[in-house]
Amino acid sequence: MTAKDFLTIDDFDIEDRTILVRVDLNSPMDPEGGILDDMRIHSHIPTLRDLEDAKVVLLAHQSRPGKNDFSTMEAHSRIMSGYLGRKVTYIDDIFGTYARSSISEMKKGDVILLENVRFYSEESLKRPVDEQQRTHMVRQLSPLFDIFLNDAFAVSHRSQLSIVGFTGLLPSGAGRLMEREITALNKSLQGNECPCIFVLGGAKVDDSIKVAENVLSSGGADRVLVTGVVANVMLAASGVDIGEPNMKFIESQGYLDQIDRAKEVLEKFEGKIGLPRDAALNDNGTRIDVKIEEVASKNLPINDIGLETIVAYSSEIENAKTVVLNGPAGVAELDGFEIGTFEIIKAAANSGYSIAGGGHITAEVRNIGYEEQFSHISTGGGACIDFLAGDELPGIEALKVAAKRYQETE
């Protein structure tokens, strides 16, 4: 996907226009409704600053029905107001009379945040784009707007009405965050400087194997290094006995069938997938580093890559021109087992161009204060891994269709 496939803020005359922007403000919250991490709120500020001459209405969600943090957007509006330096007005309505009249009365420079879009049950229904465009919410809101911008990369892997419903009815483009995500992740897949290394870890084994196959098949990566549960599955696929506790864990996660899949990928890309040489075992909270060949005899869970692997991986990563991290190397929340994750993050920060691919690895990058040293930190977990795996994201595909239609009418 190239920059010509979608429109951005720069393609529209925004002066005094009424613009609907889908943002992703979904944040961890405490039991009292306070926001614990406002990273996602802050990430949209560049978009809002570039729209200061327009009338901006924000559509967002917080959590989902049944969760303890399924709440209103009031706290989000207060934090956003502080970052933006001007009032972001919270409206406790989505598309009713109060919301519509508030939008109609807006003046240039005003910013409104509508109520949690998931309070409307149809938002959570996954349907084709044309059906989403006919929903009651879209029909009620779309006549009030001149432009729709999708700035919510992290939820653009879902075909939900607030993501794809407006793109067929309004001139549509990407906000600054979405634009930055697509550009950075594309750089990791094509046109990147070599050597390019993907470091895949965490527990989403099927996703990671799919990413590995995609980037190695397309030439997007020269090497893939594996850690976490992904590495355990790959090791088992390569014929290593990883011990009963680790095989039981793989089985409990429903990933036994991925061992055969991993074997196929290892054979197809022989020499291009790096496996751990040693592992850190958890013996009642104590870290024990052993050679991979010794893991089975210890009958203990693997909770991190070993020190020898950390040194080898770090050297390879530091010398790379492009590095993409997705998933932690071990159980980073446990004392003593965060070493692999932290050292890989530090090595990636010293490479030519570094990307943290959303989810847990992004949290760990921030945890050790390396955010500013990365070239790009993705706001998407599932969306990022789907993008890297070569899957089409409905939100981005909808923007491509909208761009083509817009360009044909100009």
Nearest-angstrom CA–CA distance, 250 and 256 = 6
Averaged pLDDT for residues 130-134: 89
Q: In the prediction, which pLDDT does 192 show? A: 61
> Is the domain of 170 the same as that of 199?
no
What confidence category does residue 407 fall into, taking pLDDT thresholds of 50, 70 and 90?
confident
Kind and range of the H or E element at 342? Answer: helix 339-349
Please check whether residues 125 and 32 belong to one and the same domain: yes
Q: Are 247 and 396 found together in one domain?
A: no
Residue 131 lies in a domain: yes
Residues 163 and 32 in one domain: yes
Q: Answer yes or no: is 210 within a domain.
A: yes
Q: What is the pLDDT of residues 99-116, one digit of tens each?
A: 999 999 999 999 999 999
Q: What is the DSSP letter of 105?
A: T
Are 149 and 17 contained in the same domain?
Answer: yes
Same domain, 279 and 337: yes
State mean pLDDT over 3-12. Answer: 88
Instruction: List residues forming the annotated binding site for substrate.
Output: 24-26, 40, 61-64, 118, 158
pTM: predicted TM-score of the whole model, two decimal places: 0.90
Distance CA 61, CA 72 (A): 8
| Three-state DSSP state, 324 | strand
198 and 175 in one domain?
no
- Please tell me whether residues 141 and 202 are part of one structural domain: no
Does residue 357 form part of some domain? Answer: no
Structure confidence at residue 191 (pLDDT):
53
Binding residues for ATP: 333, 358-361
Count of other CB atoms within 10 angstroms of residue 214:
18
Is residue 378 domain-resident?
no
Confidence category of residue 326, pLDDT binned at 50, 70, 90? very high
Structural domain containing residue 236: 194-351
Q: Which residue stretches of 70-227 are H helix?
A: 74-84, 97-104, 129-132, 136-141, 161-164, 176-189, 205-218
For the chain, the domain total comes to 2
Residue list for the binding site: 24-26, 40, 61-64, 118, 158, 333, 358-361
In angstroms, the CA 361 to CA 206 distance is: 17
Residues 173 and 235 in one domain: no
Q: Give DSSP secondary structure letters for 232-284.
A: HHHHHHTT----HHHHHHHHHTT-TTHHHHHHHHHHHTTTSEE--SEEEEEET
- 328 pLDDT higher than 50: yes
171/231 same-domain check:
no
Residue numbers belonging to the annotated binding site for (2R)-3-phosphoglycerate: 40, 118, 158
Residue 294 lies in a domain: yes
Stretch 387-398: mean pLDDT: 93
Q: Residue 381 falls within a domain, yes or no? A: no
At 261, list the tokens.
């899949």
Same domain? For 207 and 262 the reply is yes
